[in-house]
Amino acid sequence: MRKWYQSLKVSGNEAGPPGRVTSIPTVIAAAIWLSAIVAAMAVIISYSKAPSHSGTPPSHWPDHSRIPRDTSHPTLVMFAHPRCPCTRASLGELELLMAHSPGLLGAHVVFIKPAGTAEDWAKADLWRKAAAIPGVNTHFDEAGVEARRFHSETSGQTVLYDRNGQLLFHGGITSSRGHSGDNPGRSAITAFSRNEIANSIKTPVFGCSLFEADCQEQGGKCTK
């Protein structure tokens, strides 16, 4: 009788529906995997929203700057690292800004060119993208002289001065790292160009450092 009961118990287990029982190691492994994905996503989101260091530009247009200032309209200057991937989004926002403010701004994109580097190093894809925007002038910034005059530290940092050379706005024109879309910086500059009241005069900047050597050498990674 006992042997018959044991045989029935074993055969009953084997006849049960497959896949109903999950082993404890499998559950633990799945939980660890899910936790790792959530943690990685949190790091990525936190990084994309973390602003870079930005300087405070002078309240009046620097006297020794060689960048032409428009005396009839506000003048916009964006400082850019030619190898910063996040700056592509900034240039995309600049293109939209110029399309919405035709003939209302004098605009310049100034690409930093470290001492000892060839023009080809700076005149790369981002340069071509900036040069293709109607109404935008592109410049080399030898050894970052102009960036220092304007106290700019981060790629994508943008300043706007009125026709008398007074600072109106400084900051970034993207809402996060490498993100395109409506943002307070672009809205503010558009308002100033139309002689309207702007809601912001300063916004965070997201991009590579203009002067850090590792950023200049690696290029492919957008670092603070």
- Spans of all domains in the chain: 75-218
Look at 5 and 57; give whichever has higher pLDDT.
57
Residue 166: partners with Cβ closer than 8 Å, 6 or more residues away: 59, 60, 61
How far is the C-alpha of 133 from the C-alpha of 102, rounded, in Å? 11
How far is the C-alpha of 1 from the C-alpha of 7, rounded, in Å? 10
Q: Which long-range contacts (CB under 8 A, 24 or more apart) does 139-143 make?
A: 139/67, 139/108, 139/109, 139/110, 139/111, 140/110, 140/111, 140/113, 141/79, 141/110, 141/111, 141/112, 141/113, 142/113, 142/115, 143/113, 143/114, 143/115
* Contact predicate 99/183, CB 8 Å: no
Distance (Å) of CA 178 to CA 18, 73, 97: 48, 29, 17
pLDDT given at position 24: 80
User: Would you tell me which CATH number, out of the four given (2.40.50.100, 3.30.70.890, 3.40.30.10, 3.30.930.10), belongs to the domain 75-218?
Assistant: 3.40.30.10
Q: Which two tokens stand for residue 49?
A: 């929203």
**Is the pLDDT reported for residue 125 higher than 70?**
yes
**Is the pLDDT reported for residue 135 higher than 60?**
yes
**Is the pLDDT reported for residue 11 higher than 80?**
no
Residues 178-206: tens digit of each pLDDT? 567 789 999 999 999 999 998 889 999 99
**Is the pLDDT reported for residue 211 higher than 90?**
no
Look at 168 and 55; give whichever has higher pLDDT.
168
pLDDT given at position 73: 97
- Rounded to an integer, the average pLDDT of 11-31 is 60
How far is the C-alpha of 184 from the C-alpha of 181, rounded, in Å? 10
**Is the pLDDT reported for residue 37 higher than 90?**
no
Pairing of strands 75-80, 106-113: parallel
Of 79-83, 116-120, 137-141, 183-187, the range with the lowest mean pLDDT is 116-120
Beta bridge partners of 79: 110
Task: Give ∠ CA 8-12-15 in degrees, rounded to 5.
Answer: 140
55 confidence band (pLDDT: 50, 70, 90): confident
| Cβ atoms < 10 Å from Cβ of 5 | 9
The mean of the pLDDT values for the chain is 82
pLDDT given at position 16: 47
Question: pTM score, two decimals?
Answer: 0.74
How far is the C-alpha of 47 from the C-alpha of 162, rounded, in Å? 34
Q: Which two tokens stand for residue 102?
A: 């035709």
Of 30-39, 51-60, 173-182, the range with the lowest mean pLDDT is 30-39
59 confidence band (pLDDT: 50, 70, 90): very high
Run of H or E residues at 107: strand 106-113
- Rounded to an integer, the average pLDDT of 170-185 is 83
- Rounded to an integer, the average pLDDT of 95-111 is 96
Look at 164 and 212; give whichever has higher pLDDT.
164
